[in-house]
Structure 1
Amino acid sequence: MNGFEFQCGTKMIFGKDKELCVGEELKKYGASRVLLVYGGSSIKKNGLYDKVIHALKEAGLFFEELPGVVPNPRVSLVRKGVEICREKDIDFLLAVGGGSVIDTCKAMSFGVYYEGDVWDLISGKTRPGEKRIPVADILTLPAAGSEESDSCVISDETIPMKTGFGSPLMRPVFSIMNPELTFTLPPYQTACGCMDIMAHAMERYFTRTPNVEMTDRVTEGILATVIHNLPKALENPRDYDARAEIMLCGTWAQNDMTGCGRQQDWFNHGLEHQISGFYDIAHGAGLAISFPAWMEFLSDKQECIPKLAQMAVRVWKVEMNFENPRETAKEGIKRLRSLIKESGLPLTLSEAGIGTEKFEMIADLMTNKGTHTCGSFYPMNKGDILTLLQMMA
């Protein structure tokens, strides 16, 4: 196990009707002028919007609204939010939605105090400073884990490019999490969210760092819990207990608790960001395509088989084949693919309507035209990535 520092300062407010306290909670943290950021009409249809507006008015808070956040959130809306914050002297950002809304607020919070274009921060051209507007959220889609994470991901649709940045100051001040708010999620969004959660866990799980049993076991518990509860939530969308388990897994898979003391991989997220930057596919759907194919690719690499087999045994309850652990690993991959298919997600790029024409460009972007490798569990060169993309096709 490697040495590490870990601090997660986000206050989690979890349970039924907790969104009703948002106004008073904001006041506790000194908010007086709030920008309410959200996506489309869903929070108005399910009544959450009216509850939030009532709570803000009851608390006597001034607020402005910024709707229009979309999946793979756009830097154009971040820029608009920065302008509103400066013009209206906003001192707190309230994200009501999923990871796209929260990430939009995170980028905005640092952009307000940066004199240049906020894309400089997002793209890594400039490091974020020490000043930002605090962010709080009411979570409606467990997936990205942005409600407690220290990073955000934003797209520039004009390039196209999808990337992000992070800072210890980026974690929201508090996150309100009521599983009831996820009852109306469509099955596809529920499944995409669960795949995103599993991917966050697996990006940390697949490591070369030895002696990380505790975080291995916690990660395996997160994966097993999602696997157990996803079918329940799809069968009965109003199953509070299943939704609660999934929501908690989403947060703990991404607040980096399970990443402590270990090298992390993040190849699949980098690949998916390239794909969704070009094709605007749902993030969880892209990960559903890439992860099993990547694991299949690694099942031919002797040094990767022990960890793949360990996951198969501990998470998927596959019986260990000590004479041929590769077969154990492949059975685990088979069961992952079965869950993805049964959940209604694509397993190939063609199922998602994506062709092969961008493969060379994606591989070049990820490897700086073949000069770098990606990932740490198994460093992927340009040829490896092209092979993998063909496996995903």
Structure 2
Amino acid sequence: MNNFMFYSPTEFVFGKETELQTGALVKKFHGTKALIVFGGGSVLRSGLLERVKESLDKEGIAHVEMGGVQPNPTDPKVYEGIGLGRREKVDFLLPVGGGSVIDTAKAIAAGIPYDGDFWDFFTGKAVPEKALRIGVVLTIPAAGSEGSGNSVITKTDGLKKLSLRTPEVLRPAFAVMNPELTYTLPAWQTASGITDMMAHIMERYFTNTADTEVTDRLCEGTLKAIIKEALTVIKEPENYGARANIMWAGTIAHNGICGVGCEEDWASHFMEHEVSALYDVTHGAGLAVIFPAWLTYMADHNVRKVAQFANRVWDVPASEDKKAMALEGVARMKAFLHEIGMPTTFRELGIENPDISALVCRLHENKGEFVGNYVKLDRQATRQIYETANL
């Protein structure tokens, strides 16, 4: 196990009607004027936005709002939010929604006090040293952004989809999590979120770091719990227990606990980012296509952990033939993804003729000549993985 520091200061307020505590929580963390960031009409139709604003009014917290954040969030909304936040002199960001809304709010929170272009943070030209405080009201369990310091934004000029990881300044102060708010999520969105959280765990699980038994078991146990509850929640969307477990799993998957002491991978996420940037597909659905292809490649190039994954997560019997174990695990994973309604090929994702050369070129332009750590992938390797996803 590698040396590590684990610091996760977010206060999670979990359960029924917890959104009514939002105003008190903003006040607790010294907010006096909040910029509420949200996406489409669901928070309006459900009455959630009004309940949140009423809770802010009750505590004397002033607020302004910005809606219209779309999936695969882009930089124009960030610039709009930075301008609005500066004009209104807000001191707190309050995203109400899922990962796209939260990621947008994080970029705004870092951009408001910064003299330059917020995109500098995503390209590595600058590192955010300060940001406005953030509190979250979560409506979509998927990205885990409510418990991480990460943000992913696409720049419309060139369709560059890049990530920022600064837990010291962008991890939310609190996250309000009411599983009942997820009852009305479409099955596709629920399944995409489930796939995303599974991928967050797997990016940490597939490591060459030795002596990580505790972290491995945390990953494996959480994955098995997600698989069990996913099959329930797809069939029974208003099953509170299943929704609660899925919602909490999304946080555990991405708050860092599943990766302590490990060198993480993240090649599959980087490869998917190019797919969703170019074709505007749902991130979780894109991962359902890329990750099995990545695992198939690893069965030939670094099979040890893939065989362990097959045995411990997918109940493939142990044998001397590690590659056969690994491939059976991939087959069982794909069967599960199909069962919850996810695609596992580009064609099933709705991309009939993906431009694999463009995907490979963009990936390595953005991430360098090698991506990932479990096996460092060059252009030939990533092309093979994209081509496997196209079979």
The TM-score normalised by the length of structure 1 is 0.97
**What CA distance in whole angstroms lies between the structure 1 residues aligned with 2:92 and 2:119?**
21
Residue 347 (structure 2) pairs with residue 350 (structure 1): yes
**Equivalent in the alignment of 2:59:** 59
Letter in 2 for 1:140: T
Contact 1:204/1:259 (8 A) holds in 2: yes
TM-superposed CA distance for 1:373, in Å, is: 1.3
**Equivalent in the alignment of 2:216:** 216
TM-superposed CA distance for 1:51, in Å, is: 1.0
Mean Cα deviation higher: 177-186 or 116-125: 116-125
2:329 to 328, 332, 338: 332
Aligned partner of residue 135 in structure 1, secondary structure: strand
**Equivalent in the alignment of 2:20:** 20
Unpaired segments of 5 or more residues in structure 2? none
Aligned partner of residue 23 in structure 2, secondary structure: helix
Sort the Cα spacing of 1:265 and 1:371 in 2 relative to 1 into closer, same or farther, 3 A: closer
Aligned partner of residue 147 in structure 2, secondary structure: coil
Q: Deviations over 1:20-75 (max 9, x none)?
A: 01011111111111111100100112221121121111112111010011111111
Aligned partner of residue 94 in structure 1, secondary structure: strand
**Equivalent in the alignment of 1:135:** 134
**Equivalent in the alignment of 1:281:** 281
Contact 2:128/2:169 (8 A) holds in 1: no
1:389 to 372, 375, 386: 386
Letter in 2 for 1:299: A
TM-superposed CA distance for 1:8, in Å, is: 0.8
Unpaired segments of 5 or more residues in structure 1? none
**Structure 1 residues 92-241: aligned runs within 5 Å:** 92-129=92-129, 131-167=130-166, 168-241=168-241
Contact 1:370/1:382 (8 A) holds in 2: no
Aligned partner of residue 292 in structure 1, secondary structure: helix
**Equivalent in the alignment of 1:361:** 358
Instruction: Give me the identity figure in percent.
Output: 40
Residue 371 (structure 2) pairs with residue 374 (structure 1): yes
TM-superposed CA distance for 1:369, in Å, is: 9.8
Letter in 1 for 2:9: G
Sort the Cα spacing of 1:15 and 1:84 in 2 relative to 1 into closer, same or farther, 3 A: same
Contact 1:145/1:251 (8 A) holds in 2: yes
**Equivalent in the alignment of 1:321:** 319
Q: Deviations over 1:230-284 (max 9, x none)?
A: 0100101001110111111110110111111110000000001111111111000
Q: Which runs of 4+ in 1 moved over 3 A?
A: 368-371
Sort the Cα spacing of 1:356 and 1:23 in 2 relative to 1 into closer, same or farther, 3 A: same
The Cα RMSD (Å) is: 1.3
TM-superposed CA distance for 1:366, in Å, is: 2.4
Contact 2:346/2:354 (8 A) holds in 1: no
Letter in 2 for 1:279: Y
Aligned partner of residue 300 in structure 2, secondary structure: coil
**What CA distance in whole angstroms lies between the structure 1 residues aligned with 2:74 and 2:323?**
42
Contact 2:93/2:132 (8 A) holds in 1: yes
Contact 1:201/1:258 (8 A) holds in 2: yes
**What CA distance in whole angstroms lies between the structure 2 residues aligned with 1:201 and 1:60?**
40
Letter in 2 for 1:261: G
Contact 2:161/2:277 (8 A) holds in 1: yes
Letter in 2 for 1:142: P
Aligned partner of residue 265 in structure 2, secondary structure: coil
Letter in 1 for 2:164: F
Contact 1:229/1:242 (8 A) holds in 2: yes
TM-superposed CA distance for 1:89, in Å, is: 0.5
Aligned partner of residue 199 in structure 1, secondary structure: helix
Q: Deviations over 1:296-325 (max 9, x none)?
A: 111122xx2221111111111111123x12
**Structure 1 residues 24-43: aligned runs within 5 Å:** 24-43=24-43
**What CA distance in whole angstroms lies between the structure 2 residues aligned with 1:228 and 1:370?**
35
Aligned partner of residue 336 in structure 1, secondary structure: helix
Sort the Cα spacing of 1:372 and 1:29 in 2 relative to 1 into closer, same or farther, 3 A: same
**What CA distance in whole angstroms lies between the structure 2 residues aligned with 1:57 and 1:342?**
44
Aligned partner of residue 374 in structure 2, secondary structure: coil
**What CA distance in whole angstroms lies between the structure 1 residues aligned with 2:25 and 2:206?**
38
**Equivalent in the alignment of 1:264:** 264
**What CA distance in whole angstroms lies between the structure 2 residues aligned with 1:71 and 1:158?**
17
**What CA distance in whole angstroms lies between the structure 2 residues aligned with 1:370 and 1:26?**
37
Letter in 1 for 2:347: S
Aligned partner of residue 253 in structure 1, secondary structure: helix
Letter in 2 for 1:315: V
Count the aligned residue pairs: 389
